Each structure stands twice: as C-alpha cells, then as structure tokens.
Amino acid sequence: MTTIDTYLQQKNEEFLRLEIAYSNLYRAYMSGNVDSMKYQYDLASQINIPFFANSIQSHTKLVMLSNNVLPTATISIYAIQNKNEVFMNVQGCLNAIHEELGRRNIYTNQYTYAQSVLYRPAHAFKQEEVLYQNTQGSQLKVADLLAVSKYAVSIAEAINPSNEEYAKANAAITVFQSIDAILNNKPEDKPINKMLHLATSFISSVVKSSIKYDEAKRGVTITAIMVDLVIDFFCKK
C-alpha cells in the first residue's frame, strides 16, 4: 500500500467515525433523552482527530452566545445539570462534526482527484492544460500548480511557523519556480509577475531565517502572502 493509499484509508475511516457519531448524537438529541445525549456526546468528543476537541468547544461557545448564555469553563458533559446547557453542548458538538465532515469530504475528493490526475496520469501534461475548472469557469492549469502549492504551504507555515518541514517545502517550491521562470518565461507567461513573486519569496525566506520567535515569523509569512496577492491583483502581465 502506497503512502497516498494509506492516507486515504485513514481519512475514510475518520470520515466513517464522524458520520456514525453524528447519526447517534443527532438521534439522541431528537429524542430529548439527556442521559443518551451525554453518552453520545462523550463518545463523539473522544474521536481522535487533531483540534477536534477545540472545535467542539468553539462551536459550543457560539451556540451559547447565540442563546444569550455566557460560556463558562469547560467541564465534563456528565457534570452539567442544566438541561438547556446540555442541549447547547450537543448542538455545538453536532455543528463541529458537521463542519469536519464537510471539510474532509472536500479534502478526500480533491486528494483523490490529485492522485488520479497528477500521480497516475494517462498522458504527458502541457503547461496550458486545464486540470480543474469550477462552476464559475475559473481554471487551474498545469502552469498554476507551483503558485497554488506555494500559497498552500505558506498558509500552513503561517499556522505553524516552527515546523521546519513547511520551511523546507517553501524553499523547494521557490527553487522550482525559479527553474520554471528560467525555462518558460515567455511574454504571455507573466514574466514580471513571476519575477516579483520570486523576489518576495527570497526576501521573506531570508528575513524568517534570522527571526527567533514564531509570532514574528508568522507576521513575515502573512505579509508575504498579502504582497503576493497584491502582485496577482495588479500585475496582470
């Protein structure tokens, strides 16, 4: 089994656990049985997915605030005596599961698409070939992949600035973009746009390498992303 297949299997298993948890918790919620709701909530909250417990807490706080209830310190669901608060906790958990299901459904579809198109291609790709087109007509071409990857890694790096793997990936993509610019810098291929992006990337990389604190690194990364977006907006050629 390849790494990609293992990844997809893991995501499918997580997706199934989330679906079962949502179904059981929703049935308990509709029945109005407090003990059943607490039990299914406890099971759902134990699903081992990074940041999922935080997501449940965040959604629960939103539900409480929307009902003009001031959120209190997080405690065990079994310690909550007020029935309305149990209902609000369950609503928050259901919302968190629903959000996670939606996110993983998108990721799974995109990853499967990327696997079939990029890793198991039926033919050689060309720069101008369209890989994906949404309902609004926006297109993702082969030539756009490096730029899209760069934004994705930059966002990940902004979230976790201390992760050296993101920094390595960012540097690698910058090198590939430089090679692409050298080999394919045609007049219609936005050479000025590419040059400005590369300059931003090199400058931000040098600055981040000299910074010690994560918060400062995050600020540089976010600023670089904003500059890149400005370049894409104003530099059309």
Sequential pLDDT tens for the chain (237 residues): 555 566 567 767 788 888 889 999 999 999 999 999 999 999 999 998 888 888 999 999 999 999 898 887 778 899 999 999 999 999 999 999 988 887 766 555 554 555 555 545 555 556 566 666 666 666 666 566 666 667 667 776 677 777 777 667 767 777 666 766 666 665 556 666 777 766 777 677 766 667 777 777 777 777 777 777 776 666 655
Question: Which distant-in-sequence residues (6+ apart) come within 8 Å of 154 by Cβ?
Answer: 170, 221, 224, 225, 228
* Residue 224: predicted pLDDT: 75
H helical segments located in the chain: 3-31, 34-45, 52-66, 83-114, 145-159, 164-184, 191-209, 214-234
140 forms bridges with which residues in the sheet? 132
